[in-house]
Amino acid sequence: MFLARVIGTVWGTRKDEHLKGFKLQFIQPIDRRRNDVGDPVVAVDTVGAGPGETVMYITAREAVIPLPVDEAPVDASIVGIVDRIDISE
């Protein structure tokens, strides 16, 4: 999983029918110091993350697992909200 910060929401009415009903968050990947890295990703959110929260997200085929359907054209999902990171070095 990678870390990201929720920075917005993406809206579109013409989309694949499997995507209907899912909230699409716009998330900015971040590094361990919470600096931005790379470009934002559009991710399905089933944990109810809010703007500015640090989240863990997954990519690829696993991204459909949190969804209550058998398959969906989804390749990024938010799977948790990060409360704390303990760095041991």
Residues that bind its own copies (CB under 8 A): 1-3, 5-16, 18-19, 24, 26, 28-29, 31-32, 37, 39-43, 46-48, 51-52, 56, 58-66, 71-77, 79-89
Q: What sign results for the dihedral spanned by CA atoms 53, 54, 60, 65?
A: negative
Q: How far is the CB of 80 from its own copies (least distance, A)?
A: 3
Q: How far is the CB of 11 from its own copies (least distance, A)?
A: 5
Q: How far is the CB of 76 from its own copies (least distance, A)?
A: 6
Query: Pairing mode, if any, of strands 23-29 and 41-45?
Result: antiparallel
Structure tokens at 51: 């703007």
3-state class (DSSP) for residue 18: helix
